[in-house]
Amino acid sequence: MPASDYEVTIGLEVHCQIRTQTKMFCACRAGFGYAPNTNVCPTCLGMPGALSTLNVRAIERTILAGRLLGCSIPPISKWDRKNYFYPDMPKNYQTSQLDLPLCIGGSVPLYEWTFPANTEVPASEDGIVRHVKLDHIHLEEDAAKLTHFAGFSLVDYNRGGTPLMEIVSAPDLHTPDEAYAYLKSLQQIMVYADISNADMEKGEMRCDVNVSLRPRGQKELGEKIEMKNINSMSAARRALIYEIRRQTEELDAGIAQVQSTRRWDDTLGESIIMRTKENAHDYRYHTCPDLIPVRTAPLVERVQECIPEMPDARRQRLIRDYMLPAADATTLVSDASLCSFFERTVQAGAPARKAANWVINTLTAVLTERETSLADCPISPAALADIIGIVEDGTVSTNQAREVLDVIWRTPDKDASSAAAELGYKKADSGALEELVRSVLEENQDMVELVRAGNAKLVNALTGKVMKTANPKPNPKLVTQLILSCIKS
């Protein structure tokens, strides 16, 4: 059977570390970069008798994610123990949520700009291609970090107990590209709302994918194959492309699929079977006797006040309030920090379209060229507005402004005008410049006649002549304008 005769169903489970000062069930510091096993206490080490407390901020942030994604928030949410034995969880159970999670239902918008580059993006309305249904979002704790070596493993309990949100989609995705876009959208929303850094490289966001195939028209879903802990969006896409092809080939050959977990090896580019069948009852979930359920109403109310703008709303605002072309608005919203850099440049007085152009094209190119991140960029939004300002008032041309930018990059305290003066660019005294233009035209009467006769190209040659004699160097655009007005008058 060709692949097109199978219907592909994909579901994603995304784990996302919530950005909080402390852990989920104790007061230990959360976060990276500390010496191994220094941020630990009897609670997160699972010592007998140690009791848990709740991190309210983590609960709030989870509810905020739910509100942003249109979930309903049940009035009561409770905690359950998910039992398993492994050195990354010294209690031998993970405190999680089974049947009364914090958020139920909802959906994730797939934005046009979240689809993988160089692929055909489906048609969209206001930037939204479609919504992928969510099953629920629950809150739990992260496990410790294991590092495996030949013959032994090391465990770092610093990560153990970090607030971890698990976002579970409905089986509502159909292509590897959609899965990619889903992860990217989710990541953007987490960053926009300051819920998580969601950096997949750092493991702040991790993803389990499951995929099943069924003959088109069949009602029940096919057997589900799961691949756990995929650590990049493109790896998730590659894993799905591989798995869909593998299952198609096997089904065509008459090999029935069995519900199982496979390991995706991104280097080899293939998946390897790990274990078959694993159901919720294997974990012997039961209600946590130590933690009382959460009454969500007061938290929902508190969260209501800090619901941020979603990326699609921000894009529409950029188009409406700044009159930006749709393509520029799309580029800006796809990178939240670039977008706020742009907005701050406009607030510092730069005209919006010019600012967008400088941020998207010039600044991005300079940052790439110098292998610098926007966070480390020595040019502030105010400095960029300053540079754009001296282009606008005719002190320098766009090319000259690039040189000014280089000077400010090296000496960020300098203002644009003095940097320009240092380079020999000064706002021409328009009287003196006009005089110079008139004398050059006088000397080149033959060319002036030809321009009058319709040879527009000669204007550039005349501009060149003026530029050669002028000192300090004026903005060539300004010179051309002067030439044209002198010739006409």
The residues that touch Mn ion, with contacts defined as CB under 5 A, are 166
Q: Minimum distance from CB of 289 to Mn ion (Å)?
A: 21
Of 80 and 166, the one with the shorter C-beta distance to Mn ion is 166
Locate tokens 């309030």: which residue? 321
Beta bridge partners, 473, equal 425
Is residue 6 within 8 A of residue 252, CB to CB? The reply is: no
Partner whose footprint covers residue 288, from Mn ion, Zn ion, none (CB < 5 to 8 Å by kind):
none
Partner whose footprint covers residue 26, from Mn ion, Zn ion, none (CB < 5 to 8 Å by kind):
Zn ion
Partner whose footprint covers residue 366, from Zn ion, Mn ion, none (CB < 5 to 8 Å by kind):
none
Of 8 and 26, the one with the shorter C-beta distance to Zn ion is 26
For strands 225-230 and 260-265, give the pairing.
parallel
Is residue 337 within 8 A of residue 375, CB to CB? The reply is: yes
Q: Minimum distance from CB of 37 to Zn ion (Å)?
A: 11
Distance of CA 402 to the CA centre of its chain: 28
Nearest residue to Mn ion, scored by beta-carbon proximity: 166
Partner whose footprint covers residue 44, from Zn ion, Mn ion, none (CB < 5 to 8 Å by kind):
Zn ion
Of 43 and 247, the one with the shorter C-beta distance to Zn ion is 43
What are the residues whose beta carbons fall under 8 Å from the beta carbon of 80, sequence distance 6 or more?
95, 96, 97, 98, 99, 285, 286, 287, 288
Q: Minimum distance from CB of 278 to Mn ion (Å)?
A: 13
Of 10 and 58, the one with the shorter C-beta distance to Zn ion is 58
Of 28 and 68, the one with the shorter C-beta distance to Zn ion is 28
Q: Minimum distance from CB of 44 to Zn ion (Å)?
A: 3
Q: Minimum distance from CB of 214 to Zn ion (Å)?
A: 46
What are the residues whose beta carbons fall under 8 Å from the beta carbon of 28, sequence distance 6 or more?
22, 39, 40, 41, 43, 44, 161
Partner whose footprint covers residue 28, from Zn ion, Mn ion, none (CB < 5 to 8 Å by kind):
Zn ion
Partner whose footprint covers residue 41, from Mn ion, Zn ion, none (CB < 5 to 8 Å by kind):
Zn ion
Q: Minimum distance from CB of 84 to Mn ion (Å)?
A: 11
Of 32 and 460, the one with the shorter C-beta distance to Zn ion is 32
Q: Minimum distance from CB of 24 to Zn ion (Å)?
A: 9
Helices (H) and strands (E) in the chain, counts: 16, 16
Q: Minimum distance from CB of 290 to Zn ion (Å)?
A: 14
**Measured distance CA(405)–CA(415) in Å, rounded:** 10
Q: Omega into 472 within 30° of 0, i.e. cis? A: yes
Token pair recorded at residue 47: 């010592």
**Measured distance CA(174)–CA(132) in Å, rounded:** 10
Partner whose footprint covers residue 179, from Zn ion, Mn ion, none (CB < 5 to 8 Å by kind):
none
Of 51 and 313, the one with the shorter C-beta distance to Zn ion is 51
Is residue 176 within 8 A of residue 118, CB to CB? The reply is: no
**Measured distance CA(201)–CA(196) in Å, rounded:** 13
Of 28 and 329, the one with the shorter C-beta distance to Zn ion is 28
Give residues in contact with Zn ion (CB under 5 A): 26, 28, 41, 43-44
- 426 burial (CB, 10 Å; 0-12 / 13-18 / 19+) is middle
Q: Minimum distance from CB of 157 to Zn ion (Å)?
A: 8
Q: Minimum distance from CB of 23 to Zn ion (Å)?
A: 5
Is residue 420 within 8 A of residue 387, CB to CB? The reply is: no
**Measured distance CA(302)–CA(280) in Å, rounded:** 33
Partner whose footprint covers residue 3, from Mn ion, Zn ion, none (CB < 5 to 8 Å by kind):
none
367 sits in which H/E element? helix 364-369
**Measured CA distances, 234 to 13, 46, 227, 262, 330 (Å):** 16, 36, 14, 18, 21
Of 82 and 427, the one with the shorter C-beta distance to Mn ion is 82
Partner whose footprint covers residue 166, from Mn ion, Zn ion, none (CB < 5 to 8 Å by kind):
Mn ion
422 sits in which H/E element? helix 416-422
Is residue 210 within 8 A of residue 226, CB to CB? The reply is: yes
Of 156 and 166, the one with the shorter C-beta distance to Mn ion is 166
Is residue 51 within 8 A of residue 290, CB to CB? The reply is: yes
For the chain, the helix, strand and coil percentages under 3-state DSSP, each to the nearest 5: 40, 20, 40
Beta bridge partners, 12, equal 209
Of 24 and 466, the one with the shorter C-beta distance to Mn ion is 24
**Measured distance CA(333)–CA(314) in Å, rounded:** 7
Q: Minimum distance from CB of 182 to Mn ion (Å)?
A: 17
